[in-house]
Structure 1
Amino acid sequence: MRFFKFANESAIWRRIALCMCVASMPLASPAEPMHAIAMYGEPALPPGFSHLPYANPDAPKGGTIRLAETGTFDSLNPWILMGNPVWPIFTQPGLVTESLMARSIDEPFTLYGLLAESVETDADRSWVEFTLRPEARFSDGTPVTVEDVMWSYEVLGTKGHPRYTTVWSKVEKMEQTGPRSVRFTFNTADRELSMLMGMRPILKKAQWDGRDFSRSSLMVPIGSGPYVIDRVDPGRAITFRRNPDYWGRDLGVTRGMHNFDVIRYDYFGDASAMFEAFKAGEIDVWRELVAARWDRDFDFPAMREGRMVKSEIAHGRPSGIMGMVMNTRNPLFADWRVRQAMIEAFNYRFINMTLTGGKDPRITSYFANSELAMQPGAATGREAELLAPFAAELPPGTVEGYALPEGGERAIDRKGIRAALDLLGEAGWTVQGGELRDADGRPFSFEILLNQSGSAMRTSAEMRQIVDIFVQSLRNLGIRPTVTLLDAAQYVERTNNYQFDMTWYERGLSLSPGNEQRLYWGREGVSKPGSRNWMGMDSPAAEAMIAEMGQARTHEGFVAAVRALDRILTAGRYVIPVSYSRISRLAHRADLDYPENTPLYGDWPGFMPETWWQEERE
């Protein structure tokens, strides 16, 4: 088994510390064209760099990689709310469409020029200007123009997914300032906006003439990226083919990347079927998310014969949040005591031992496994100052310190059940005739909604096993929830419109959180469909911390704001968290390889398949 980590156990954190030191450096001179832009200080790579540090510039080109997704798709437009789109077009940066700037996954908060040859901004970041590369071309050979850029930004900002429309409201003016340059002026003080404006997909305006962008469609989008969509079998498979005439193949941000001639995605009804396909050699890569299964379930012929191998890839990114989310739009879960009771009843220790053998640690906060995570005990320093104005309205433990219950080793955790009953009693719920009811005799009743295709991080069977154990525990409280399984399309429709009481929830978080946090937890998402604020939280304190993150001028100030937000989210008790892994476990075809230098983010969008290649056969 190939095990990848950094030179020693502390190398990830030395990398982060280096970024912190860079963050303390003076800002570049205002209004000066730059090859890259960082939230703080200077980018790590100089102008004219040859390649990203985690890419192999000598990687061979050619071959095919076959990947897989669960569920289905009915749209090739992932930039709108409608439809069930092919997500690789969106989640793999620069695959089909490109943005003005490209992210380095070896730095927390830096962008390098891609379609744009330079970026320019003032000291306050009240505006940002990009100049296009003259050689930039769409896959049909036509140039990428300022007109394409401006149309893309406007249509995304007015008809696109909420992830685009929210930020667009902060743009006061968009104007062409030269033959190849465009400037955005902001109406809000937010330093991150100058970076976000570099990260929108640029579409070909002429392709959309006379078409309704807001409607889902199987029309193949024309982009400027290294791949074009070659074949589409709606709902079942999609194939991307490398464009031999790709305009940007010799740029520093692309050299050593995009090495496969063909990338194919097959869709499966659930993760169990997908794993069987991997074992049979029908797909080439499998991400294993459960430590116990990694040790137990990979003794099959292809692995024994050396046709498949196992790799472990270290990372320094936050844990994110994963588990059962409670929808506070339902009055049942509006009381934090009820939510804490659900957390107490969820016997994490037993569930973790059953599913993972206890090997993976628990998610203790939304930014666990990083310097951005809230620290044990009471908030101090700048973090405490930021929380002080909101202390009276925050749930207990936000400022003083909050920790999750550990749970017990047996299926029934009596300590947790007692704690849950006490909290429910305080909230007005008592067991009457074996059933939990309120003072008016109404039962404590809710639905747990699950996707029968599973999720990005858990199979349907695993989610169902977790829920089954949880439901058994709830029966000790006189609660008998309904469990509903839906197909992927129905599940997306209901969750987009927040039509659930409790469901499985996964949100990956980065070392550079910013405006996207409003889409995750912002007030607008309480009623506006399509946000990631599934819990329905409406917290002025959280809004204030997100604003502070955008205004922070030092790394220390930024960390304090994120840690304060982490406290608000975690002590809000919106999600019953499960475990996460500090490494990525990838089983893959033996002739597939990846660079020796592992990026700070590890196995993250931008790493696989972007930096991988197929070894040349003798």
Structure 2
Amino acid sequence: MRRRHLLASGLFLASGAARAQAPAAPAAAAPPPAGEARSVHALSLLGEPGLPADFPHWPWVNPSAPKGGELVRPAVGSFDSLNPYILRGTQAAGLLQVFDTLLASSLDEASTEYAHLASGIELPADRRGITFLIHERARWHDGKPVTAADAAWTFNTLREKGHPFYRAYWGDVTEVVAEDARRLTFRFKDDKNRELGLILGQMPVLPQHAWEGRDFAQPSLDLPLGSGPYKVERIEAGRSITYRRVADYWGRDLPTVKGTANFDTIRFEYFRDTAVLFEAFKAGQVDVRQENIARLWATGYDFPAFRQGQVKRQEIPNEVPTGMQGFAMNLRRPMFQDRRVREALGLMFDFEWMNANLFYGSYKRTTSYFSNSELASSGLPSEGELLILSAFRGRVPEELFTSEYRVPVSDGSNTNREAARRALALLQAAGWTVRDRKLVNAQNQPFAFEMLLSDATYERIALPYVQSLARLGIEARVRTVDPAQYQKRMDEFDYDMTVALFPQSLSPGNEQRDFFSSDKAREPGSRNVIGISDPVVDALVELVIAAPDRQALIDRCRALDRVLLWGFYVVPQWHLSAFRIAWWDKFGKPERNPRYALDLASWWVEPARERALPPKPAAPAATP
């Protein structure tokens, strides 16, 4: 289950690292006494919520943090839309802070959400629905009240006209009803989807009156109306967007808000590539950056402002599940449809050489679609996993039952001849032959494909891999395109191979359909990048969604993990269980970071520190 909106944030804020927490029945699943609806202040999949109904604020924030100042953040590429909830267009960064959601995710607890825009939650005894009570003080930025009718309209609009993701994510909802101005009730098709209440709690609520006479499905640069702590103040189309804190924000005293939303303005400055972005950071044009390039983290911070202590950096450990990142093959292309071919391509990736020579030894190899969590498979299948997988015997690789899945390990020389021999044998068994130093099929067609990238930074990882493949006679080409073109081609499945990320949480559920289901393999814009269309995977995804308890979820996720791994659909890459962050030293921040996210919203500007810094370069003129 995602803890923030998938498209706008990319962050999945739960973790399998909390192993010490004993599995318990989820709060949303416990039947109320005497068959009556039960009122709660929060929902949790892993037991009772950690905070009481009267908690004053999130445990990690500074509730007395001063308000004021500006935070300038970087973004790469461009944007042409201020609607983050549709397929078309490239949305601007930061839009989620304009819109409130029914519940607020705790960044310090796995799979737990607390009352926010909804002041209360009612759970029926049959678990076939949920009711949210819209907060009586909730107001849009134009002063009009937020109503249950707005929320019902939002649900129906997003499912009908929003990103296709919503249709799968909310597929188990049969009806939504605004019973009065405040009561919003969802009804479910059955009681099997134990996370559905939390999924609906993530729903942003949009103002119906602001969309009258407008086409929701069309991208637009009209300034959006919301009810959140910030509103869009001005934009320079494709280059920058500035948000202004709402001084009379209706929810400023909520425990889910206190100590956050501290900056008067938040501005995102766009850069065409990451190299220019880093130079802009060094010059003070942006205030903070998360570093995802190991080379820069190891060698790039030897510049005057850093040496003088004006720029700080820190590696902050986290417990965020890292999911799977890898070179993903598009099964819609015939050359990748043979499992032996996919296994061969994986054998040619020399992680050990890359980690030593490109990453300064900073990464761990990823070996699971649920890495860094208790949901990751390892060793041979357990008894619980075997009970699940035995039903599919004959339709999954037999090695799954008898052998431990292992990624190939090299000596770090980038000339792993044994792996190359094994790969060539697999390719020959699949009907490919080397002729005149080129790998060809029976029709004498060469094995050639394009690797599509959106960031030139990845070329230094892709090119050594391309060179390894060339030793087998495979002609792989690397093509880097701008983010807008990349997104368009991804939405249309117009690629051979790309770098894909499948983020996970401690409580996987409906989003697995979007990642791996047959229906989504045919739906443009879906997250089924690979194009998996396998009835076994479909069945396992549904089992994950319907898991009745924690142990069942663990066993079912591990079973799904094994089937995906033994399908060799991706060439697994690496992960890091920490946030690498650098910032200009003008901020105060809480004593600790929450366990499952980097919470910049709880930082604040220290005026004395800011005055000690050199003047910031003037911001470019913006267009209202």
**TM-score, normalised via structure 2 length:** 0.91
Match of 2:39 in 1: 33
Asked whether the equivalents of residues 293 and 356 of structure 1 are also in contact (C-alpha less than 8 Å), the reply is: no
Q: Which of 134, 137, 141 is the equivalent residue of 1:135?
A: 137
> Could you tell me how far apart the structure 2 residues matched to 1:353 and 1:389 are?
42
RMSD, aligned CA: 1.9
Match of 2:4 in 1: none
Query: Can you list the C-alpha shifts for 1:442-495, whole angstroms capped at 9, x where unaligned?
Result: 2112111121xx2xxxxx23x111111111111110111232222221111111
Query: Given residue 275 of structure 1, which amino acid in structure 2 is its aligned partner?
Result: F
> Could you tell me how far apart the structure 2 residues matched to 1:392 and 1:306 are?
62
Q: Per the alignment, in what secondary structure is the counterpart of residue 120 of structure 2? A: strand
Instruction: Name the CA shift for 1:398/1:615 in 2 (closer, same or farther; >3 Å).
Output: farther
Q: Which of 494, 499, 503 is the equivalent residue of 2:494?
A: 499
TM-superposed CA distance for 1:246, in Å, is 0.4
Q: Per the alignment, in what secondary structure is the counterpart of residue 324 of structure 1? A: strand
Query: Given residue 181 of structure 1, which amino acid in structure 2 is its aligned partner?
Result: R
TM-superposed CA distance for 1:56, in Å, is 1.8
Match of 2:407 in 1: 404
TM-superposed CA distance for 1:426, in Å, is 1.1
Asked whether the equivalents of residues 20 and 555 of structure 1 are also in contact (C-alpha less than 8 Å), the reply is: no
> Could you tell me how far apart the structure 1 residues matched to 2:539 and 2:195 are?
15
Match of 1:384 in 2: 386
Matched, 1:122 2:124: yes
Asked whether the equivalents of residues 60 and 616 of structure 1 are also in contact (C-alpha less than 8 Å), the reply is: no
TM-superposed CA distance for 1:413, in Å, is 1.7
Q: Which of 588, 592, 614 is the equivalent residue of 2:605?
A: 614
Q: Which of 221, 226, 236 is the equivalent residue of 1:223?
A: 226
Instruction: Name the CA shift for 1:589/1:399 in 2 (closer, same or farther; >3 Å).
Output: farther
Matched, 1:572 2:567: yes
> Could you tell me how far apart the structure 1 residues matched to 2:587 and 2:558 are?
39
Match of 1:6 in 2: none
Match of 2:70 in 1: 64
> Could you tell me how far apart the structure 2 residues matched to 1:124 and 1:538 are?
34
TM-superposed CA distance for 1:412, in Å, is 2.0
Moved more, 335-344 or 22-31: 22-31
Match of 1:512 in 2: 507
> Could you tell me how far apart the structure 1 residues matched to 2:597 and 2:299 are?
24
Unaligned runs of 5+ in 2: 1-13, 610-624
Query: Can you list the C-alpha shifts for 1:213-257, whole angstroms capped at 9, x where unaligned?
Result: 011111111111000001111110001110001000111111111
TM-superposed CA distance for 1:124, in Å, is 4.6
Asked whether the equivalents of residues 73 and 268 of structure 2 are also in contact (C-alpha less than 8 Å), the reply is: yes
What percentage of residue pairs aligned between the two structures are identical?
39
Instruction: Name the CA shift for 1:592/1:317 in 2 (closer, same or farther; >3 Å).
Output: same
Match of 2:441 in 1: 438
Matched, 1:364 2:367: yes
Q: How does 1:205-604 map to 2 (within 5 A)?
A: 205-375=208-378, 377-400=379-402, 401-451=404-454, 454=455, 460-461=456-457, 463-603=458-598
Query: Can you list the C-alpha shifts for 1:22-42, whole angstroms capped at 9, x where unaligned?
Result: 558893626211111112431
Asked whether the equivalents of residues 40 and 553 of structure 1 are also in contact (C-alpha less than 8 Å), the reply is: no
> Could you tell me how far apart the structure 2 residues matched to 1:252 and 1:502 are?
45
Asked whether the equivalents of residues 132 and 183 of structure 2 are also in contact (C-alpha less than 8 Å), the reply is: yes
Q: Per the alignment, in what secondary structure is the counterpart of residue 365 of structure 2? A: coil
TM-superposed CA distance for 1:307, in Å, is 1.0
TM-superposed CA distance for 1:397, in Å, is 4.0
Asked whether the equivalents of residues 146 and 180 of structure 1 are also in contact (C-alpha less than 8 Å), the reply is: yes
Matched, 1:54 2:60: yes
Asked whether the equivalents of residues 438 and 446 of structure 2 are also in contact (C-alpha less than 8 Å), the reply is: yes
Q: Per the alignment, in what secondary structure is the counterpart of residue 197 of structure 1? A: helix
Q: Per the alignment, in what secondary structure is the counterpart of residue 484 of structure 2? A: helix
Match of 2:147 in 1: 145
Instruction: Name the CA shift for 1:311/1:81 in 2 (closer, same or farther; >3 Å).
Output: same
> Could you tell me how far apart the structure 2 residues matched to 1:135 and 1:13 are?
33
**TM-score, normalised via structure 1 length:** 0.92
> Could you tell me how far apart the structure 1 residues matched to 2:297 and 2:221 are?
37
TM-superposed CA distance for 1:292, in Å, is 4.2
Moved more, 229-238 or 540-549: 540-549
Moved more, 193-202 or 238-247: 193-202
TM-superposed CA distance for 1:541, in Å, is 2.8
Moved more, 124-133 or 265-274: 124-133
Q: Per the alignment, in what secondary structure is the counterpart of residue 95 of structure 2? A: helix
TM-superposed CA distance for 1:546, in Å, is 2.6
Q: Per the alignment, in what secondary structure is the counterpart of residue 67 of structure 1? A: strand
> Could you tell me how far apart the structure 2 residues matched to 1:571 and 1:594 are?
44
Q: Per the alignment, in what secondary structure is the counterpart of residue 289 of structure 2? A: strand
Q: Per the alignment, in what secondary structure is the counterpart of residue 132 of structure 2? A: strand
> Could you tell me how far apart the structure 2 residues matched to 1:47 and 1:119 are?
12
TM-superposed CA distance for 1:399, in Å, is 3.7
Q: Per the alignment, in what secondary structure is the counterpart of residue 602 of structure 2? A: coil
Query: Given residue 228 of structure 1, which amino acid in structure 2 is its aligned partner?
Result: K
Query: Given residue 182 of structure 1, which amino acid in structure 2 is its aligned partner?
Result: L
Instruction: Name the CA shift for 1:342/1:124 in 2 (closer, same or farther; >3 Å).
Output: farther
> Could you tell me how far apart the structure 2 residues matched to 1:298 and 1:371 are?
35
Query: Can you list the C-alpha shifts for 1:399-454, whole angstroms capped at 9, x where unaligned?
Result: 44311101331232212211110110111111012111112222112111121xx2
TM-superposed CA distance for 1:398, in Å, is 3.4
Asked whether the equivalents of residues 159 and 165 of structure 1 are also in contact (C-alpha less than 8 Å), the reply is: no
> Could you tell me how far apart the structure 2 residues matched to 1:263 and 1:73 are?
17
